[in-house]
Structure formats: structure tokens, C-alpha cells
Amino acid sequence: MENPNRHIDIWNDCLHIIEQLVEPQKYATWFKPIKPVSMEDSTLTVEVPTDFFREYLEGAFLDIIKKTLRRVIGADARLIYRVRPVKSQQPMQYPASNSLEPSNRPVSINTYNPSGNPSPFVYPGLQKLNIKPRLNPVYCFENLIEGECNKMGITAGLNISSAPGNTPFNPLFLFASSGLGKTHIAQAIGLAIKEKFPEKVVLYVTGNEFKTQYMDAVNVKNKLTDFLAFYMKIEVLIVDDIQDLIGQGSQNAFFNVFNHLHQSGKQLIFTSDRAPVDLQNFEERLLSRFKWGLSVELKRPDYQTRLAMLKSRSFREGVSIDDAVLEYLATRIKSNFRELEGALISLIAHATLTRQEVTVELAQNITDKIVREEKSDLTIDKVQSVVCEYFNITREALLSKTRKRQIVQARQIAMYISRNHIENCSLSTIGMELGGKDHATVLHACTTVSDLMSTDRTFKQYITDIEKMLVPVVK
């Protein structure tokens, strides 16, 4: 029989450990008032007097609390704060932060005297540098919502974080349109690596920042050597928006950094707003290296993933919002996670400042001002018409059983676009409408199109052109 007082016993075990680690006065002030509320699986819920109390605990004792919980409950331990309600107010719940902002160990960098180039027989000076990882603890795996749109990226990221530099996913190249979670996944990998391998030197930098640093180094005598020496000490390098790394000099420097780190078994992670094959003004030798590991496209989230993200974010904000409101937002905003979160935060802020209840009507008023109207009248029939027009074929040919390459390719493209742009349209329905095919045929067609888009620039242009012809229905 399950122990009804398990949450009390667990918290008392935690207090016994914390009491040995915290000064008596601080222990009495900040830990005695905490009351255990419930225990579900590995998640302990505790009640604290005020939101300020919760924030102070997070700022001053997070590391101690986190380690203690894992020692008592296990590696999957999670903590939820419940702020004690005032009068008839509903209690507000907050998940504990995943981690403190990580830091790297000091790194020794070779530096050269600015008076001139050193002799090969002269030892350069040594400089100890504290390199900030520049990782945001909010961008952790725990705050990621997994769906078909990002499953491969998250799975690859978890594999990398368990063995950085020792998986086939090196480099990992994440690409997608804005707001689909590239930065979140990339930083989550860095955070997970720092948690499992604290000694590893991790750095997050944007492509534009790398380019600017290179240009600054070129303008100071001997600083280019220091610049390269610095980057070659990094063990996990995350470069966000690498499409901004334009310029022969900066690309040449990055090529040397890439080669050194990759050959040394260090982990490389890149994000971009386009696939490697579509990057413009990049040296071919650099593009070929981007393709050495794994390239993953993040796609637009489906309805269930959007709804799960909204529920998770409102929970993180400590706000209880009616499901009908969240369902309205998930239905209305389909483009990306960033717009979804922006609408939710605007809704919460507006309701808080004007003391209004969060309703569907309020959500509609807010989204009308910040989100463009999305069309939802795309049909399989419309997709068929546009594909036939683009390839100059008849609808009869498209739906026939012919195995001519052009017709098969057009049919596969129609299946791919229908699956990715028509809400709640099953594979079986798509197959039935496109020549009476079964769901396995449609799935194979979508996979084939996706693979060709990542390797064949001309084929990728077909998809882009057809999607533009469907605007504003698709967009």
C-alpha cells in the first residue's frame, strides 16, 4: 500500500541533508516555513509563503536544493513550488528552475607579444581566461515540447549531450524558419553537456559575432593568432545563425577552427535559417564540412504540439488559464513557437494590468492586434490544381497509375504539400484523393520529397514555387 505521507517523509529527508549544508539562521528563515504538499512519481510539490520567498530560494539555494532532491529522490527529481493563496485566490504553481547559469573552467590561452611575430623558438605567454558559456538556463530540454516537428532534433541533441564529440552527429546542423526552436535546442544541448560534463568548455556565439570578432582581431597586430588560439580551446562550439558568417577572411578563419576542433573530437553545433545546400556566398569546402554530420530540419508545429507548448509556458508563468483559451490560441496561431509565446505573454500581461479575467474574447482581441490572419481553406483539390498547373500536366495524369518519372514526382509533391499544410488531414485521406493510394505510399512519398529537398536545389525550388502559388492559403 502506498504511503500517504510519502511527500512529508521525502521532504524531511531533504531537510536533514540541507540542515548540514546551510547556516542555522538561514535554514530557520528559508527552509522551516516550507510545507510539503504532494508527491507524484518523481515530482515533489512544496508550498511557500510568497512569490518573493520562491524567487529568493531559487537565487540563493537552487544548487543545494537540486542536488539534495536528486540524492533523495533520484536523477529524475523535479520540484514544484505552490505559492500560498491569499483569501479566495487560486494557488499559483511554478516549476523550479532547471539550473543556474553555467560557467566554464579557466582556460590557458597562448598569447603573443604585440611588438612583433615571435620566433618559433620563443615560448608565447600564457593567459588564463574565464570564458562564459553564454547559455540561458531557460533554454533547457525540460522546457522543450517534443512533437513531430522537432523530434529528430531533440533526439539527436540528447544523444550528443551524453557523448559530445563521440557520436555520428558532428557537426549537428539545425535549420528552419524563424521561431521554430533552433536556438532553444542548440542551447539545451550545451546546458545538458555542462550538467553532465562540468569540466568541458562550452561556448555559444552567433555567426555575426564570430565575424565581428574576426574583423576586430585582424585590425590589431598579432591578435588574429590570439583569436584562433581562443576558439581552438573550445570543446563544444555552438554557432547560431551561421548564415550570417559572410566574408572570405572570416570563413577562412572558421574553416581552420572547424578543422582543428573536429579533428580533436570536439563537438560542433550550428543553426541556420536554411539548409546547407541553400547557403549563399559560402566556400564549397566549408559547405561540404557542414554536411559531414547530421542536418535536421525543424518544421512548423502541429496543433497538439502548439497546445502542449502553451500549457507548459503558462505553467512556467505560474498562471492557470482555461483550456478553451489555450485551444483558441493554438488554433489561431500556426506559424511558429515564438508567435505563440508572444501572444500568450501579451494576453497574461494585459489581463494582469487591466485586472481582467483571461477569456476567449480577450484572447481574440489581443491576437487580432498582433497576429496576421491565417487562411485555412487549403484543400487537396486546390493542391492538385496548382501542382498540375506548375508541371503542365492534366489532373487525370496526376491521378493515374502511370510510373512516368515526371508524373510520379508531381504526385509525391502534392502528397507532401497536403500533409504539411492541410490541418487534420490524415495520410489515408491524402492517398485516397491522390489516386487511391494507401497511407504507406503517402508516407514514403513525403520522406522521398523531404530527402530530395535537402540534396537537390532544383527540386527544393519546385516546392518553394508551388507554395508561393498557394499563398495566401499556405501562409
pLDDT of residue 116: 46
Alpha carbon distance, N-terminus to C-terminus of the chain = 55
Q: In which element (H, E) is residue 271 found? A: strand 267-272
Instruction: Look at 91-100, 276-285, 351-360, 374-383 and tell me which has the smallest mean pLDDT.
Output: 91-100
| pLDDT per position as a tens digit, 265-277 | 999 999 998 888 8
The per-residue DSSP string of 101-148 comes to PP-PPPEEEEE--TTSPPPTTSPPEEEEE-------TTSSGGGPPP-T
C-alpha 406/C-alpha 408 separation (Å) is 6
pLDDT of residue 100: 61
Question: Angle 223-231/248-263 helices, nearest 10 degrees?
Answer: 40
For residue 118, name the pLDDT band (cuts at 50, 70, 90).
Answer: very low
Q: Following CA atoms 62, 68, 72, 74 in sequence, which dihedral angle do they give, to the nearest 10 degrees?
A: 60
- Residue 227: other Cβ atoms inside 10 A: 20
Assess whether pLDDT exceeds 60 at residue 375: no
pLDDT of residue 92: 60
Q: Residue range 230-240: average pLDDT? A: 94
- Residue 72: other Cβ atoms inside 10 A: 18
pLDDT of residue 364: 86
Residue labelled with grid coordinates 568541458? 200
| pLDDT per position as a tens digit, 178-199 | 889 999 999 999 999 999 999 9
C-alpha 2/C-alpha 9 separation (Å) is 13
Put residue 65 in one of left, alpha, beta given phi > 0 → left and psi -120 to 50 → alpha.
alpha
Assess whether pLDDT exceeds 70 at residue 447: yes
Q: What residues pair up with 36 in beta bridges, in sequence order?
A: 46
| pLDDT per position as a tens digit, 132-155 | 899 988 888 988 889 888 999 999
Predicted TM-score (pTM) of the model is 0.63
Radius of gyration of the chain (CA): 27
pLDDT of residue 270: 97
C-alpha 463/C-alpha 415 separation (Å) is 12
Q: Residue range 373-378: average pLDDT? A: 59
The per-residue DSSP string of 424-444 comes to T--HHHHHHHTTS--HHHHHH
Residue 149 carries which DSSP code?
Answer: T
Q: Residue range 307-336: average pLDDT? A: 86
Residue 299 · residue 180 · CB < 8 Å: yes
